Amino acid sequence: MKFTQTSLKVGELATGQELNVPVYQLPAQDLSAPSVFIQANVHGAEVQGNAVIFQLMKLLETMDVKGEVTLLPLANPLGINQKSGEFTLGRFDPITGVNWNREYLDHQVDVASWYQEHAHLDDKALIQAYHLQLIESCQAHLNSEWGVTTGKRLAVTLQSMAHAADIVIDLHTGPKSCKHMYCPEYDVASAAFFSIPFTLVIPNDFGGAMDEAAFCPWWQLAEYAQSQGRVLDVPVSAFTLELASQERIDMSDALNDAQGILAYLSHRGVIDDKVEPARMPRFGCYLKDYKKFHAPTAGMVEYKAELGEPLQEGEALANILRLDLYGTDKEFTSLYLKQDCVPILHFASASVYQGTELYKVMTNLFEL
C-alpha cells in the first residue's frame, strides 16, 4: 500500500504565504491496532530524521501495516529555512527566542474532576474520551480570542495531530552527538527495541517537549485512576530519538534506525511483519543523572572525550586554549570530571563563552 500525501497548514508569513507541512499517511487496516505519529525536523538543523522517515516509508510500503501511520517530515518550515551562511540556525523561534521544542501545550487538565465525570465508562470508551479531550484542548488554545505566538501555533497544531495517536515518536539530533533516546519511566522496557545504545529515563514532569506533551496527560490519568482503585495502563507511548549529530544526512545509518523503529512497531502490532530488534548493548540512566558540564572559562576548546565511550574519573574531557594568556599557567587548561560517565553530546563550536554548556554526560548507568 502506498502512502497518500496531504498538507497541514502551520502558519503564515508576513507576506501572506501559507506555511505548509507535508503529511504522509497509511490508513488503518485493523482499527484495534495502535496508531502511530512520527515527526522530524522540528529543529531546522536536525535533518537526519527526514532520512529515517524516507527509509520508513520505503519499508512500510512493502509490509502488512495494520494500524494507521502518520509521518510528518519537515515539520518546521520556519526553522528549516532559518539560514545564516552555510549554517542552519533553526533551534529557536526568531520572534520570541523560545526553543521550538518547548512550545507544546501543557493542558493542566483537572484530572480528578474529569475522571469523576467519566468514571462510568469502560476502559476503551474512557481512553477515546480522553483523546478527544486533549485534541479539543489544543483546538481551543489555537482559537483563543487573544491569539497565539507563531511558535505556539506550529507546536500545538502538530500536538493536536499527535494526540490522535497511540504511539508518538519525535526525531531529533544533537549538536555533536551519539545516538540516544528519551523514554518515560513507565515504558522503559520499550527502549530495547530501538537501535539506540543509550536511553534517558524520564519522570512524569512536563518540560515542554513533544514526548512529554504526549505522555504526561495519560500518565497523570493512569495514576489518578489507580488512586481510585482502577488499574489503567498508560495507553500512549511517546519517545524522542536523538539520531547523532545535526547538519548531517546518512542514508545507511537512517536505514538502521528505521529498522529499529519497525522492530518496536512490530512488537506493538502496528505491522504484522516480524522485525527483530538489533542485538546490541543498551544502557540507561535516570534524567536526574544526566549532567551538564559548563565551560569554567572562555576560550578555544579541544574536545577530547569520545562520544558514546566510557570516560573514567580523571581522564581528560576537554582542553581550553587561551592565547590571550600565553606565557601564564592559564594558557592551556585541561578539564576533568570527578566521576565516571559516558559523554553523550558536546557543543558544536570550538569557540566558547565562559559558562557555555560544553558536554552532556550520563552518570550512574545501568544495563537495559
Q: In this structure, what C-alpha cell is assigned to residue 138?
A: 489544543
Q: How far apart are CA 199 and CA 117, in angstroms?
A: 37
Q: In this structure, what C-alpha cell is assigned to residue 63?
A: 509490509
Single-letter code of the amino acid located at 81: N
pLDDT in tens, 224-238: 999 999 999 999 999
Per-residue model confidence (pLDDT) at position 234:
97
Per-residue model confidence (pLDDT) at position 147:
96
The three state secondary structure string of 29-72 is CCCCCCCEEEEECCCCCCCHHHHHHHHHHHHHCCCCECCCEEEE
Per-residue model confidence (pLDDT) at position 161:
98
Q: In this structure, what C-alpha cell is assigned to residue 296?
A: 569554567
Strand, helix or coil at 97?
A: coil
Per-residue model confidence (pLDDT) at position 45:
97
Per-residue model confidence (pLDDT) at position 328:
97
pLDDT in tens, 171-213: 999 999 999 999 999 999 999 999 999 999 999 999 999 999 9
Q: Which residues contact 270 (CB under 8 A, 6 or more apart)?
A: 33, 34, 35, 36, 65, 66, 67, 69, 167
Residue 184, CB-side half-sphere exposure with 13 Å CA sphere: 27
Rama region for 320: left / alpha / beta (φ>0; ψ in -120 to 50; rest): beta
Residue 342 · residue 361 · CB < 8 Å: yes
The three state secondary structure string of 215-248 is HHHHHHHHHHHHHCCCCCCCCCEEEEEEEEECCC
Per-residue model confidence (pLDDT) at position 244:
98
Q: In this structure, what C-alpha cell is assigned to residue 176?
A: 555533536
CA distances from 172 to 42, 54, 180, 333 (A): 8, 15, 10, 33
Per-residue model confidence (pLDDT) at position 324:
97
Task: Report residue 79: phi and psi, to 5°.
Answer: -65, -40
Per-residue model confidence (pLDDT) at position 262:
98
Q: Give the DSSP H or E segment for 85.
A: none
Q: Which residues pair with 20 in a beta bridge?
A: 9
Q: How far apart are CA 190 and CA 284, in angstroms?
A: 12
* Averages of pLDDT over each 10 residues, the chain, 368 residues: 96 95 98 98 98 98 98 97 93 96 96 97 97 98 96 98 98 97 97 98 96 98 97 97 97 98 98 97 98 98 98 97 97 96 97 98 97
Per-residue model confidence (pLDDT) at position 235:
96
CA distances from 77 to 13, 93, 151 (A): 11, 11, 11
Per-residue model confidence (pLDDT) at position 95:
94
